Amino acid sequence: MADWTDLIGPLLGTAGSVYASNQASNATTNAANQAAQAAQFRPVGVTTRFGKSGFNYDPTTGQLIGAGYQVAPDVAALREGLLGMASTGLGQAQQIQGIQPNINEQARGLFNLGAQYVGQNPQQVAQNYLAQQQQLLAPGREQQMAQLYNQQQQQGRMGLATGATSEGYTQNSPGLQATNPTIAAAMNARAQQDAQLAANAQTFGNQQVQFGQGLMTGGLNLAGQGFGLQTQALAPYSQYMQGATGIENQAANALTQGSALGSAITAGSTNAANIQNQAAQQAAALQMQRNNAVVGGLTDPISQLISGLSGGTSNYQQVVNPYFQTIGYSNP
């Protein structure tokens, strides 16, 4: 039997190095798997006065598959009460909305009436006003003049006339005629009254346009107030809904807090796993370098082993196989 001690020693050392390399590779894979598992999002269940959060995980993969929250019973009762009041408030707002078409119709009537006033010519309105006022005064004036003539006749002053002139207001124009002082005073008063009516007529014409503008503005304001009334009627509904939503958000805050805590925990676990994975990879790389160095030095001993196997493969197997079986590898 040949002496294999010098030749088998390096070979067995190589096998041990390969085994150690495989162990390092497995450790690296495990570290990577642990890092991936640690990186999974794991929220934390949180319970507050308003509610509590809950999360469901897949029993096989451990991944998050569902999330939710539960409102505290008394808080839920408050929420439902506000929602009931909101429903009533919405009904009231709908009733106010139902009368808006009638408001719009009345507002349209005011607007159209104002448009008719605005469409009139102020000069024509003034002439119409003056004619109307003179028509109203005409019967009284006739009665006044008749009484005045009768009075002058009875007093014997009907033929009295004064104030005549020989010269007129322009050259070669006839002079002023003599008149009865009482009758002249009455006619002058009438002329002064007509002048005042003419001035009032112009003012009245302008006022008619302004009055029409006011009617149109009033129509627009009426319609706007109708819509404003709807807004006011909707305010209770909006406030009740806001209150119910605030309660619901307080309950949902447990879910938000649990997710935030889970994110913070996941970030820390991920960093730790990454550090572990990097360390395992560095160890595996160093082990691989060592193995390559050992295998590189086997060229000459392996040649000697092959050349010295003149006694057959049985001697080789008797020496090598037990070692491979010990480290868990079968003879190649």
Tens of pLDDT along 59-78? Answer: 887 777 787 888 889 988 99
Neighbours of 244 (CB within 10 A): 19
- Structure confidence at residue 110 as a pLDDT band (50, 70, 90): very high
Tens of pLDDT along 13-23? Answer: 555 555 555 66
Average of per-residue pLDDT across 238-262: 84
102 and 189 together in one domain? yes
Q: What is the mean pLDDT of the chain?
A: 76
Domain of 233 in residue numbering reads as: 83-157+177-243
- Structure confidence at residue 189 as a pLDDT band (50, 70, 90): confident
- Give domain status of residue 151, yes or no: yes
Say whether pTM exceeds 0.75.
no
- Give domain status of residue 98, yes or no: yes
Domain count, the chain: 2
- Give domain status of residue 261, yes or no: no
121 and 237 together in one domain? yes
Query: What angle is formed at CA 315 by the lines to CA 311 and CA 320, rounded to 5 degrees?
Result: 140
- Give domain status of residue 57, yes or no: no
6 and 153 together in one domain? no
Tens of pLDDT along 252-311? Answer: 888 777 777 767 666 666 676 676 667 667 766 766 666 666 555 554 454 445 444 444
- Give domain status of residue 52, yes or no: no
pLDDT of residue 311: 44
Q: Across the strands, what pairs with 55?
A: 67
Determine what percent of the chain is predicted with pLDDT higher than 70. 63
Identify which has the larger pLDDT, 321 or 136: 136
- Structure confidence at residue 242 as a pLDDT band (50, 70, 90): very high
φ, ψ of residue 71 to 5 degrees: the values are -80, 140
- Which single residue is written with the structure tokens 């008719």? 116
For 49-82, b where at least 16 C-beta lie within 10 A, e where not — what string? Answer: ebbbbbbeeeeeeeebeeeebebbeebbeebeeb
In whole angstroms, give the CA distance from residue 216 to residue 210: 10
Average of per-residue pLDDT across 109-129: 88
196 and 318 together in one domain? no
- Give domain status of residue 87, yes or no: yes
pLDDT of residue 106: 93
- Give domain status of residue 303, yes or no: yes
In order of 85, 190, 283, 312, the CA distances from 269 in angstroms are: 48, 109, 21, 57
- Structure confidence at residue 219 as a pLDDT band (50, 70, 90): very high
- Structure confidence at residue 130 as a pLDDT band (50, 70, 90): confident
Identify which has the larger pLDDT, 114 or 68: 114
pLDDT of residue 194: 85
